C-alpha cells in the first residue's frame, strides 16, 4: 500500500465497520481485522468497489498472543498507517465467579493487551512522520462498575487511563489519541447479549446509530478531546453517577446492558 492507511480491528460489523466505511469514504486504504470470514470479506469488497480504495483483510483472533504479535509485526512494517482504531471487543453476561476464567483472560487480551501491542508497533512510524491518530474504543462502563461486567469494566477503565497517558507522553508531536466511550449503540454487540436495539429508547436507554457515533468521535478528535463521551444523555448519566454517594451506587449498580437478573 502506497497511500494513507487506516487499520481497524474488529471491523466485521458495528462500530468497527462504521469507522471502516467513514475512512474509506475519506480516501484511506484499509487494513481491517475480524474473525467472521464471510462478513468481513463482503465488507472489504463493498468498500473497495464503492470508494475505489484498497482493502486488506486480516483474519485475526486477538485473544491469541501469537496472532496479536503477527498483526503487530504487520503494523510496524507498514509506515503508511496514519490511523489505528482499536475496536475489537466482546462482552459477557454472567457473574465473575461463574464465568470460565479462560474467557476473562481472553477479554483482558482483546481489550488491553492487543491495543497496547498495536499502539507500541504503530507509534514509532507515526512519530517519525509527525502525524497519527489512535482511537481506542472504550465504553461508558469505564466510569463505573456493575453486576456481571467485572472484567469488562476493569479493562475499559484501563483503556481510558492508558489513552490519557499516551496522549500526555506525545503532546506536541502530531499524535492524536482518543478513548471513545459509547453507550448503547445499535450494533450486534448488544444483540448478542439479548438486548432489543430497534426501539429508540427504553427507560434510561438511548440508542445511538453507529454513523452518529463515528461523527461525534471524529469531531471530538479534531478538538483534541481525549475522552469522548458521545451524546448529551450519556454525559448526564456519567455526571449523575459521579455525584452519587458510593454506598448508594453499589446498591443500585446495574447489570450488563440493564438486563434483569
- Of 107 and 196, the structure prediction assigns the larger pLDDT to 107
202 has pLDDT over 70: no
- How much of the chain, in percent, has pLDDT values that exceed 90? 84
Measured CA angle at 37 (ends 69, 158), to 5 deg? 45
* Range 5-258: architecture per CATH: 3-Layer(aba) Sandwich (3.40)
Looking at residue 217, what is its pLDDT?
Answer: 98
pLDDT for 52: 97
Which pLDDT tens digit goes with each residue over 96-149? 999 999 999 999 999 999 999 999 999 999 999 999 999 999 999 999 999 999
- Residue found under cell 471524529: 218
For the question of whether the overall pTM of this predicted structure is more than 0.85, the answer is yes
Mean pLDDT computed over every residue of the chain: 91
Q: Which of 87, 217, 226, 85 minimizes the C-alpha distance to 168? A: 226
* Residue-level pLDDT at 260: 30
**Exposure string over 164-178, b if 16+ CB within 10 A, otherwise e:** eebbeebeeeebbbb
**Across 196-207, average pLDDT:** 57
What confidence tier does 254 reach under pLDDT thresholds 50, 70, 90?
low
- Per residue in 14-60, pLDDT (tens digit) is 999 999 999 999 999 999 999 999 999 999 999 999 999 999 999 99
- Per-residue pLDDT at 201 exceeds 60: no
**What percent of the chain shows pLDDT beyond 70?**
89
Mean pLDDT over residues 217-227, rounded? 97
Most confidently predicted of 81-85, 234-238, 250-254: 81-85
User: What crossing angle do the helices spanning 14-25 and 37-51 adopt, rounded to 10°?
Assistant: 20
144/199 Cα distance (integer angstroms): 25
| The pLDDT value given to residue 261 | 28
- Give dist(CA 146, CA 31) in Å, integer: 35
pLDDT at position 203 is 52
Q: What is the dihedral of CA 193, 67, 178, 146, to 10 degrees?
A: 30
Q: Does residue 67 surpass a pLDDT of 70?
A: yes
Amino acid at each position: 500500500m502506497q497511500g494513507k492507511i487506516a487499520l481497524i480491528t474488529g471491523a466485521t460489523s458495528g462500530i468497527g465497520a462504521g469507522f471502516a466505511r467513514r475512512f474509506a469514504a475519506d480516501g484511506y486504504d484499509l487494513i481491517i481485522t475480524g474473525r467472521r470470514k464471510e462478513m468481513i470479506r463482503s465488507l472489504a469488497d463493498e468498500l473497495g468497489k464503492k470508494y475505489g480504495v484498497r482493502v486488506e483483510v486480516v483474519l485475526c483472533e486477538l485473544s491469541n498472543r501469537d496472532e496479536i504479535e503477527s498483526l503487530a509485526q504487520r503494523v510496524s512494517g507498514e509506515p503508511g498507517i496514519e490511523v489505528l482504531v482499536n475496536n475489537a471487543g466482546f462482552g459477557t453476561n454472567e457473574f465473575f465467579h461463574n464465568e470460565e476464567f479462560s474467557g476473562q483472560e481472553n477479554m483482558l487480551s482483546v481489550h488491553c493487551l492487543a491495543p497496547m501491542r498495536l499502539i507500541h508497533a504503530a507509534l514509532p512510524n507515526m512519530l517519525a512522520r509527525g502525524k497519527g491518530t489512535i482511537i481506542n474504543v472504550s465504553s461508558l462502563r469505564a466510569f463505573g462498575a456493575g453486576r456481571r461486567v467485572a472484567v469488562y469494566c476493569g479493562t475499559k477503565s484501563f483503556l481510558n487511563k492508558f489513552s490519557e497517558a499516551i496522549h500526555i507522553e506525545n503532546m506536541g508531536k502530531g499524535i492524536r489519541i482518543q478513548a471513545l466511550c459509547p453507550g448503547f449503540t445499535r450494533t450486534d454487540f448488544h444483540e448478542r447479549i439479548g438486548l432489543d436495539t430497534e426501539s429508540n429508547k427504553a427507560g434510561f436507554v438511548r440508542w445511538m446509530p453507529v454513523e452518529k457515533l463515528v461523527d461525534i468521535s471524529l469531531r471530538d478528535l479534531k478538538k483534541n478531546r481525549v475522552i469522548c463521551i458521545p451524546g448529551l444523555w450519556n454525559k448526564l448519566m456519567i455526571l449523575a453517577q459521579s455525584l452519587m454517594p458510593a454506598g448508594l451506587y453499589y446498591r443500585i449498580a446495574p447489570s450488563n446492558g440493564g438486563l434483569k437478573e
